Structure formats: structure tokens, C-alpha cells
Amino acid sequence: MATMMMETVVTCPACGQKNRVHATMDGRQPVCGRCGAALETAPAGPVTVTDANYATVVAQSPLPVLLDCWAPWCGPCRRLGPVIDQLASELSGKVTVAKLNVDENPRTAAALGIQGIPTLKLIRDGRVVDELVGAVPKGEILRFLQPHLR
């Protein structure tokens, strides 16, 4: 699709703010005007959560956060990955979809009480309000999210 757009509107993956992003950014990473998160000009993907950014990206998110707790060696987690990518794009602006590598971020994994992976945690106003364990089909994840969508 070749359009002549000089600027695009990109929804911040962290806070849902719509930002105008100029096409010619001379290679600089555009950031959200409200929360400072990096903006992707490609379709929104999941936000990577770490021990370092959990407080900013998850605990202070104005949107509900669907947090996929995973690890690279976990087969079911890898099967769930593409579904999480789709949800991030489809639910952009409604739910922040994020991924936590539990091996690399043991502090957050322990704080969340992760027992097994994959685990999907639904976090609202910094509190875990629901969870779904296992590599479940996309339809089940959408049903799980439904009561939490505004």
C-alpha cells in the first residue's frame, strides 16, 4: 500500500495515547508525547516488560494490561507467541499487551507469583485481577478479557 502520508497516527502501546509521528524522523525512535514509551510505526506489538520498567509500563498503565509470562525454552509459550502478537495489534488502545521473560526478570516473576508458564496475568491499576494458565486458544483469551474491557 503506497500512500503519500507525511505523518501517521500511532497509538502508544503503553498508555493508548494517539501520537502524530512524522514519516521522516531521520532515524530517531519516536516516543509517546504522554508517557515517553517508544512508539512503533509498524503495527503495534507486545510491550517488553522487565524488572526495570514494570512499575512504569504495567503498574502505572491507565489501560488494563495483559501480561504474557513466558520463557524461550517453553514450547507452549512459543505456540502462544503469535496469538499474543495478534492480540497486541487487535486490542491496541483498549488493552496493553505485554510480555515478561520470567528467566531474565526473576524479581517481577517472583512478585507476580508465577508458578508455571505460560501464564497470562490481567493487571489493572497495578493489581493482578485475573489470570489464565496454559497455552489457551485465542477465543478463550478474548472471553477472559471481555469483562475487563471498557
Bridge pairing between strands 47-49 and 96-101: parallel
Catalytic amino acids? Answer: 74, 77
Cα(17)–Cα(11) distance, rounded to whole angstroms?
6
Residue with the three cell numbers 507452549? 76
Least distance to Zn ion, CB of residue 76, Å: 31
Burial bucket for residue 47 (CB in 10 Å: 0-12, 13-18, 19+): buried
Decide: helix, strand or coil at residue 37.
Answer: coil
Instruction: Using CB under 5 A, list all residues that contact Zn ion.
Output: 12, 14-15, 17, 32, 34-35, 37
